[in-house]
Amino acid sequence: MIGKLNHVAIAVPDLAAASASYRDTLGAKVSEPLDLPSHGVTTIFVELENTKLELLHPLGDESPIAKFLERNPGGGIHHICYEVADIYAARDKLESDGMRVLGDGEPSIGAHDKPVLFLHPKDFNGTLIELEQA
Ligand code: CO
């Protein structure tokens, strides 16, 4: 079921500073900020040869990233995204194996205009997992 690592998402307290350190210090290709109001985040993508990073910053009052940054003021890894070929088949397999899919269990459209689901971190060793239909 599980495919490639699509991205690692890092919550950052200062998007401009984080972007500058990846672009100027590490020499990575870094996108402009993109607001995703439905996910409560502003994202910047960092393109690496074999995968991407997503720098996440809270957007709006209900942002899931705001609480994370309260607990981790310096930022930290927020989630890891794996690709799957069929998100509905993946969801059904996970649920039948007793894993918890967050929200109402229906895929939403993620940062790359593709369907995504999130899995409960307690079912995966404390790691929030995003599945994206590739
Ligand atoms: Co993500």
- Please write the tens of the pLDDT for every residue from 58-83: 998 889 899 999 999 999 999 999 99
* C-alpha 78 – ligand 1 centre gap (Å): 9
User: Whose structure tokens read 């109402």?
Assistant: 104
Q: Quick check: 130 and 81 in contact, CB under 8 A?
A: yes
Inform me whether the pLDDT recorded for 107 exceeds 90: yes
Inform me whether the pLDDT recorded for 53 exceeds 90: yes
106 in catalytic set: no
Candidate list 54, 83, 130, 132, residue with the active-site label: 130
In the chain, where the domains are located? 2-133
CATH superfamily of 2-133: 2,3-Dihydroxybiphenyl 1,2-Dioxygenase, domain 1 (3.10.180.10)
* C-alpha 13 – ligand 1 centre gap (Å): 17
Mean pLDDT, range 119-134, rounded to an integer: 96
Amino acid at 102: L
